[in-house]
A and B are shown apart, each in its own frame.
Chain A
């Protein structure tokens, strides 16, 4: 149970860094999302229940700061964590293409979900051209960030505190 405070602190740091620092860095006017990359990489490297709880925790913090609606981020993070949890049992985790490909795919899913939620609750009209641009740019920049994040997660998982024991 020692790993709980570490993982809580890690999630907090990622959210704060995203909101304070990385939201100012714009590539073609679009920011990348390290919180989302963190959720994807987390779910691809650790077990599924843990990653869903982390997604829930991180999503609630993110949503508390989100303008207008509460819950969109949490739902997207939980769905991502669940799907990535299914995927991670069937793949060879050491390949570098794993985070790149799956971050890209999940980013597309995320932006599509955002768009559909905003459309359904009619909170704010978003032009379709903007959505495609966001998906394209954010997908690519998230994939690049995911390489670094994945390496970091793998390193963290090898440390004594967070190492998972083999169960047979």
Chain B
């Protein structure tokens, strides 16, 4: 022990050097994967899973208490929405019937039926205040590959960035390092979606829209399969969110639309991965 005491500074500096080398080797495209990470994540993730679920239950209680005060307003809003939706439903039924007949005539298959999904539980959030990443409880053993899309019930959550044996890290669309090819549903314009904003109002944005774009607030933004990858499937038409406002991206002569995601990231528990 005395040897360590006299050489403490040396020890600290050597450790710093070693880990700086680790940072250097992992910060390239290969990412934070390896046998050490595999062993640690395999051991820790079962405990993590239980704790996350328990934490969500406790949070649910607080959310319930908080929501009581908002119930009346919400009720009024919903009632008026239902009236709107009922009117739309009448149109929808008619259009759907027409569409079905047309599809049959053309011999179209439903494009979604060729996708396969696998379910997963969210077991934690990592990356401090610098990243927006979640851990899920399936990994390489279950056929997860880097780059696969992760969705929740109603929309896109993010993309797998690293896989271990039993867990994977998913970068969410709120992170500004993620680049998801997307298009504005109403105009068909292509762009790239990544995270925007900070603090409370984290959302995402779709970049590189044409300067004379016809995108307007309220438009839906969906994924597009404009790029292809041999290992994974890039699905199209998965809802990301709705446009909130369109802004000039001054020096670049393009426009950027800010998008409010449909997925609520604070209550995320179950997700689905799109596999081939």
Contacts and interface: CB of A to CB of B under 8 A. Distances in A.
B190 to A, nearest CB: 23
A71 B26 contact: yes
Contacts of A108: none
Interface residues of A, number: 51
Nearest to A75: B19
Interface string B154-193: 0000000110000001010000110000000000000000
Contacts, number: 156
The 10 closest A-B pairs by CB, nearest first: A29-B199, A21-B55, A71-B19, A71-B22, A20-B52, A64-B40, A20-B51, A19-B124, A23-B125, A67-B133
Interface of B: 1, 4-5, 8-9, 11-12, 15-16, 19-24, 26-27, 31-32, 34, 36-37, 40-41, 44, 47-48, 51-52, 54-56, 58-59, 123-131, 133, 135, 161-162, 169, 171, 176-177, 198-202, 266
The majority secondary structure among interface residues of chain A is helix
B40 to A, nearest CB: 4
A75 B15 CA distance: 7
Interface of A: 12, 15-17, 19-21, 23-24, 26, 28-31, 33, 48-49, 52, 56, 60-61, 63-72, 74-75, 78-79, 82, 85, 114, 117-118, 121, 123-127, 129-130, 133-134, 138
A16 B198 CA distance: 25
B24 A78 contact: no
B260 to A, nearest CB: 15
A167 B166 CA distance: 47
